[in-house]
Amino acid sequence: MPRTGGTGTPERWEHRRVLRLLGALAGLLAYAAFILFQIGPAFDEARQRLRHAIRNARDTEDAALSRCRSPEYVAALSKVLETIPRDAAYYFPPDHYVPSGQFVRFDLAPRRPVLLEPFPKGTPPAGAPRWVVLARMSPPGPEVVETAEYFRRRAGP
């Protein structure tokens, strides 16, 4: 027999409580179903990544980078790395300041990039870095040029 309030009608709060409980249970069941349907694909993805990691565990840094980018990029990057010492700075021109340039700057670390602004005219300023790196991800890859040569190219004939 349902409870009655002071007026003799059934109390509605009990019905609301039951409806809230059923709603929470339905939400919990929906979440559990979502998780159960995602377990299979998640394990498959994890298995594939683990197999790939084991297969490529003995790769050198250059082999991994060439698989990720391209062999031409790695060859050009190694020339830049041989030219610029680890503790040196280099100019990074704004016309090569593109999203792919971030990868080149990352690959050249710990060398310090200096953004070259404004566009060069005349001769390099005193204390300028010795090199300019033209960042390209596509072949032929990044290129390093002497700062004086870059300023001459930009000045025109």
Residue 112, Cβ density class (10 Å: 0-12 exposed, 13-18 middle, ≥19 buried):
middle
Which pLDDT does position 96 carry in this prediction?
A: 55
The answer to whether 129 and 91 have CB atoms below 8 angstroms apart is yes
SS3 category, 113? strand
The tokens of 35 are what? 């998780």
Q: What is the mean pLDDT of the chain?
A: 84
DSSP state for residue 109 in the 8-state scheme = T
- CA distances in angstroms from 82 to 17, 90, 100, listed in the order given: 73, 13, 21
DSSP for 15-59 reads: HHHHHHHHHHHHHHHHHHHHHHHHHHHHHHHHHHHHHHHHHTTT-
Residue-wise pLDDT for 93-115, tens only, equals: 876 556 777 888 888 999 999 88
Residue 105 has φ and ψ, to the nearest 5°, of -60, -40
Residue-wise pLDDT for 19-56, tens only, equals: 888 988 999 999 999 999 999 999 999 999 999 989 99
Which pLDDT does position 4 carry in this prediction?
A: 54
DSSP state for residue 73 in the 8-state scheme = H
In the chain, domain spans: 10-58, 61-155
Which pLDDT does position 135 carry in this prediction?
A: 86
Q: pTM score, two decimals?
A: 0.63
